[in-house]
Amino acid sequence: MEILIDSANIKEIIRLIDLYPIDGVTTNPTIIAKEKETFLPLVQEIKRHIGYEKTLHVQTLSTEANDIVNEALHLTDQLDGNVYVKIPVIPEGIKAMKTLHQDGVKLTATAVITPLQALMAAKAGADYVAPYVNRVSNLSVDGTKVVGEIVNLFNIYQISTKVLGASFKNVDQIKQVALNGSHAITASPDMIDAIQEHLLTEWSVNQFSSDWKKAFGEDAVPFFK
């Protein structure tokens, strides 16, 4: 399963890529706005830091198909490497995806709420579909099960589009979409850190250190020195 960072904060992106096996970065207009920096230089800097191979998913703002296409072509012209243009699954977005797919632009369908929206986007040429797990759950529907339904639909019809789970409020949601076959997830920096955190893990590490010092003294160096 691919693990992506849902952030435009350069320091956090650098930190997480240093620690974890990160596959890419996703952004959206809200995330970009939080950084209070000029849009294009910021996403270009993100791409420089993550490298050519890792994926960068950048979202359009327009709501008319022709404008979405023009934005997407401008983005792909200004960004090098493995770049995907994120487009919401509104009707005009689906129309734009059809055109951009024919032009060879790599696409991520975003703001997906239902399996049928995901299926429509995949047929329009999306390489990824991003269901909003927690936002679906807020509608009294289990968002993690919706991810599983999308995965199942794609398997039934042998669709190669990947499912990119997004919008998580806790680690259990990430675990459930992983168990339901999501090909990828994108999560905020704090949520990615939380994947690795557990009190018993920390306790175990502290116990190892305590036992070592009891046996060899407080100033004992690691055995390999």
Tell me the pLDDT tens digit for each residue of 36-66: 999 999 999 999 999 999 999 999 999 999 9
Contact criterion met (CB below 8 Å) for 120 and 93: no
SS3 94: helix
pTM of the model: 0.95
List for the chain the helix, strand, coil content (%; round to 5): 55, 15, 30
- Active site amino acids: 86
Tell me the pLDDT tens digit for each residue of 99-114: 999 999 999 999 999 9
∠ CA 53-97-158, nearest 5°, is 75
Q: Which residue type sits at 2?
A: E
Which residue has 């990947």 as its token pair?
A: 162
pLDDT tens-place values along the chain, 225 residues long: 999 999 999 999 999 999 999 999 999 999 999 999 999 999 999 999 999 999 999 999 999 999 999 999 999 999 999 999 999 999 999 999 999 999 999 999 999 999 999 999 999 999 999 999 999 988 889 999 999 999 999 999 999 999 999 999 999 999 999 999 999 999 999 999 999 998 899 999 889 888 888 888 877 777 666
Element of type H or E holding 75? helix 65-78
What is the b/e burial string over 127-153, where b = at least 16 CB atoms within 10 angstroms of the residue's CB?
A: bbbbbbbebbbeeeebbbbbbbbbbeb
The fold of the 2-216 domain, in CATH, is TIM Barrel (3.20.20)
- Sketch the domain layout of the chain as residue ranges: 2-216
**CA atoms of 109 and 87, how far apart (whole Å):** 5
Element of type H or E holding 67? helix 65-78
